[in-house]
Structure 1
Amino acid sequence: MVGLPARGKTYIAKKLTRYLNWIGINTRVFNVGEYRRQATEAYKSHDFFRADNTQAMAIRSKCALDALEDMCKWLENYGEVAVYDATNTTFERRKLIYNVVCERFGFKLFFVESYCDDPKIIEANIREVKVNSPDYKDMNKDDALLDFVHRIEHYKACYQPLDEVQEKQFSFMKIFNTGHKVVVHRHEGHIQSRVVYYLMNIHIMPRSIYLTRHGESILNLQGRIGGDADLSERGREYAVALAKFIKNQNIPRLRVWTSQLKRTIQTAAGIDAPQERWKALNEIDAGICEEMTYEEIQQKFPQEFAARDQDKFHYRYPRGESYEDLVARLEPVIMELERQENVLVVAHQAVLRCLLAYFLDKNSEELPYLRVPLHTIVKLTPMAYGCEVEKFDVPIAAVDTHRDKPSIPGTLEEKFKTQEND
């Protein structure tokens, strides 16, 4: 990362890391500020960041190098992508990074600069994020704000933005004012292309994303997976309740996305907002197991049933899909969600598990077991470094379709043995 303080570098670093991990690329952030806080006593004032404070400068340089060394060692042993989160605001510092990362360790390097000269964006970032930093835990907000403004001025005094002439050998992108303009210079390879595409789609406008499963379906009542069934009577009641809930929320410029399956379209039918049908939002394809109960799958395909329990994320139904396949299918949905303002997604259990895993930063082992009950609405409000989550349970009964990971692969809970005959 490159840029002055309060330009959204850590926001970009964390968001990019979450995305790359979600698509299966092992990624980690190395934040130099955390190294500095561990190496020094309690933060006192912006004087620590003065260019003429030689003692502090030595500490800061050592922390930057320690983080860089740890990052490269991690890449050698475990990782695929590392994000070096620091200001890196001088030609000299970036040349040092290049020498360590490329010349010494032989890794590829891509700089991402967040350049911002919009006072409103900068002030909002300082107030929302920086005054709540661990540096200011013992300082009131007004004093913290003033101190941080002085800190920025110290960095400005020696700031050298990425330069296409002087640093023409580097691969980099520059993001101006949170995406109003983007410049890309010499990006190379598949990973860098994905990074560029992703960062060109994100924005920081306030918005909320609502997620809900379709109302209870006829096949849900029978304990059967997949298919394209109509809603049950209780499912139709939920559709009415959902429309009322959304109306009462008074959501500006709401868009509604459903899958192309009947149960999601029927669930969203009463909502007064523009609607889109996404094939990518269709439920996971269970292949030869479509419209079967878990008990039938266990009896007819016991080896497949046990294999899925052993590695649910990577297991692929014969002639069907895996959760890993589903994540790949949903990547365009995530890209478009990042571009949008307020959206309601009406989809399916496996699909919503994947979307929740992205927004809540869940790994591939947790993802297939996230609870997404019927007749529940999840509201996600993206914040500086994560998501605020609110859940609304609509008081309309529905079957429980959640299956926990069994302690013994291939075994089945009692509720799935009896549900078919309810």
Structure 2
Amino acid sequence: MTANVRLVCVMVGLPARGKTYIAQKIRRYLNWLGIQCELFNVGNYRRKIAGAHMSHAFFDIHNQEGLSQRREAAQYALRDMLRWFEEDEGTVAIYDATNSTTERRTWLHEELTKHDIQILFIESICQDESVILSNIRDVKLSSPDYQGVDPDTATKDFVARISHYEGFYETITEQDYSYIKLINVGSQYVINMIQGFLESKIVFYLMNLHIRPKRIWFSRHGESVFNVQDKIGGDADLSPRGLEYARLLPDLIAKNLGDRPLTVWTSSMKRTIQTAAHLPYPKKQWKALDELNTGVCDGMTYAEIAEKYPDDFAARDEDKFNYRYRGGESYRDLVLRLEPAIMELERQENILIIAHQATIRCMYGYFMNLNHEELPYVRIPLHTVIELKPAAYLCEEKHYKVQVDAVDTYRPRVHRAKSEKGINAGASGEIADAASPIWPLNPPVTPKRSQTSGQ
């Protein structure tokens, strides 16, 4: 990918077709990969200009005042998007609106090509009334347009709003445009003139994106012998307490799973395979889920690393996401290694992933939309199952603790002094913080997302 490539993804489609959901997913995915991406939602600009709680009549094509204000909102969104490209040096912008006429798409195409910006149109088409009504109930009725409005009244109003758009909606037929059409929640795709790295990457992602309710469970392996010894990496066996966690894990999963089918993914390392041994579900091993490769530091304690490689130890705390162990990996490398697993996760419904601290951090960071500074510090405790329920605009999270003690391997963020003396002092101070107390037995069942948390 060349550094000066700039791309706008222009969403197209009738209301309640999942455009904003798709746009949010694209932004989350690209930012997770380190490709700077921002979303510009024209509806937000329209609410600033005309206010929220506008009845469906505002969207009637014969309502000249409403039409003028919606056109003004589209222009403001475009202006801010162009400013973002210039001032923030962005790479991918998403222009989220219905853009449901040939005239509107032509205007956008002409304005963007003036600034040497590539355009990819993404059209979401759905004729399944049950999916549309479900989207209205689950997403649109919680939007600012209908806050405090009776759900039945809101549903009728939004259905009427859709009917106004249907009167002048024009599907994409412009053969000289780059576009992808997603038909009936991914049952069919139409692709035209896809060019370059970014467009191809986004199209491939969209073809793996399935909008179905799902639950994902993450669990680190049970406490290992290396955990007890405060060593990193390796392929150690479970400790006695780790084996007890493996024995109790099936009851916790069965209690909270109900009669849903489940597949278990593990890494190729012994401690995850041993943790999954008693689970009565289909299992799949992924080499991609292996722990962060710590290179020459494999099997060492943090105290030993600080003593033998003091510069590396300090450098990692300065930029944990990008620091690469000598002969090993960085968190950035791990994100790229995990991309195929994320693609497959988007296609699945109920998955239990038994993996490692850094691996789970990267996958958790994808679903929780964490930036690269936050991601390496998420707290992923041992003997705890994290449940995620991805939705359109958020991801519900619950923690379930198995009542088996384990060491706490979390290393907090340390801001080091620049001097040699300061680095050494910081290193010894952090090792003291990294001692291994017993993890508390009763964390909250539904904690808020942790903003700081370590391999």
Q: TM-score range by the shorter chain?
A: over 0.9
Q: How far did 1:73 drift?
A: 1.6
Find 2:99's aligned residue among 67, 88, 91.
88
Alignment of 1:5-84 (within 5 A): 5-78=15-88, 79-84=90-95
Task: Name the structure 2 match of 1:183.
Answer: 190
Corresponding residue to 2:219 among 212, 223, 241:
212
Question: What is the letter of the counterpart of residue 223 of structure 1?
Answer: D
Within 2, Cα distance between the matches of 1:175 and 1:215? 41
Q: Closer, same or farther in 2 for the Cα pair 1:414/1:283, shift >3 Å?
A: closer
Output aligned runs, 1:20-419, within 5 Å.
20-78=30-88, 79-102=90-113, 104-163=114-173, 167-248=174-255, 249-408=257-416, 410-411=426-427, 412-415=429-432
> What secondary structure is seen at the aligned counterpart in 2 of 1:36?
helix
2:299 counterpart SS class: coil
Asked if the contact 2:317/2:415 (under 8 Å) is kept, the reply is no
The CA distance in 2 between the partners of 1:76 and 1:213, in whole Å, is 43
8 A Cα contact 1:295 1:416, kept in partner: no
Rounded to whole Å, the distance in 2 between the matches of 1:89 and 1:278 is 42
Percentage identity across paired residues of the two chains: 51
Instruction: Please give the secondary structure, in 1, of the residue aligned with 2:230.
Output: coil
Structure-1 separation of matches of 2:317 and 2:397: 28
CA distance in 1 between partners of 2:265 and 2:43 (Å): 40
- Maintained 8 Å contact 2:59/2:161: yes
- Which deviations, in whole Å up to 9, do the C-alpha atoms of 1:22-78 show, x marking residues without a partner? 011000110000000111134231110011111111110010011011112212222
Aligned partner of residue 398 in structure 2, secondary structure = strand
Distance 2:353 2:435 in 1: 31
> Do the aligned residues in 1 keep the contact of 2:36 with 2:91 (CA within 8 Å)?
yes
Instruction: Note if contact 1:222-1:419 (Cα within 8 Å) is conserved in structure 2.
Output: no
Query: In the superposition, relative to structure 1, how do residues 251 and 300 fare at CA in structure 2: closer, same or farther (>3 Å)?
Result: farther
Query: SS in structure 1 opposite 2:320?
Result: coil
Instruction: Give the 3 Å change call, closer, same or farther, for CA 251–214 of structure 1 in structure 2.
Output: farther
> Alignment partner of 2:218: what SS?
strand
Contact 2:264 2:353 in 1 (8 A): yes
> Any conservation in 2 of the 1:251–1:342 contact (CA below 8 Å)?
no
Q: What runs of 5+ residues in structure 2 fail to find an aligned partner? A: 1-10, 417-422, 438-455
> What is the TM-score when the length of structure 2 is the normalising length?
0.90
Deviating above 3 A after TM superposition, structure 1's stretches of 4 or more consecutive aligned residues are 414-420
Q: How many residues align?
A: 416
Within 1, Cα distance between the matches of 2:221 and 2:135? 37
Give, in angstroms, the shift of residue 243 of structure 1. 1.6
- State the AA in 2 paired with 1:365: E
Give the superposition deviation at 1:227: 0.1
Could you tell me whether the CA contact under 8 Å between 2:267 and 2:290 is conserved in 1? yes
**CA distance 1:417–1:257, shift in 2 (3 Å):** closer
Counterpart residue type for residue 203 of structure 1: H
User: How far apart are the structure 2 equivalents of 1:330 and 1:417?
Assistant: 27
What SS class does the counterpart of residue 109 from structure 1 fall into? Answer: strand
Instruction: Report the alpha carbon displacement of residue 417 of structure 1 after superposing the two structures with TM.
Output: 6.8
- 1:42/1:24 CA distance change after superposition, 3 Å: closer
RMSD: 1.3
1:28 and 1:110 mapped to 2: Cα distance? Answer: 15
Q: Distance in 1 between matches of 2:54 and 2:328?
A: 59
Q: Structure 2 CA distance, aligned partners of 1:240 and 1:263? A: 13
CA distance, structure 2, for counterparts of residue 129 and residue 139 of structure 1: 14
- Structure 2 contact 408–436 (Cα < 8 Å) conserved: no
Quick one: distance in 2 between partners of 1:205 and 1:220? 37
> Is 2:52–2:144's contact at 8 Å kept on the other side of the alignment?
no
Secondary structure of 1:16 counterpart? helix
Deviations 1:269-304 (A, max 9, x none): 000011011100000000000010000000010001
Q: Which ranges of structure 1 fall in alignment gaps of 5 or more residues?
A: none
Q: Does the Cα contact within 8 Å between 2:109 and 2:119 map onto a contact in 1? A: yes
Q: Give the alignment's TM-score, normalised by structure 1.
A: 0.97
Question: Which of the residues 5, 12, 31 maps onto 1:2?
Answer: 12
Shift of 1:361: 0.1
* Counterpart Cα distance in 1 of 2:267 and 2:108: 46
Do the aligned residues in 2 keep the contact of 1:15 with 1:385 (CA within 8 Å)?
no
Of residues 349-358 and 34-43 in structure 1, the stretch that sits farther from structure 2 once superposed is 34-43
Q: 1:418, CA displacement in angstroms?
A: 5.5
Q: What is the CA distance between 1:415 and its match in structure 2?
A: 4.0
Give, as a single letter, the amino acid of the residue that structure 2 aligns with 1:254: L
**Alignment deviations for residues 338-368 of structure 1 (CA, whole Å, 9 cap, x no partner):** 0111100000000000000000000000000
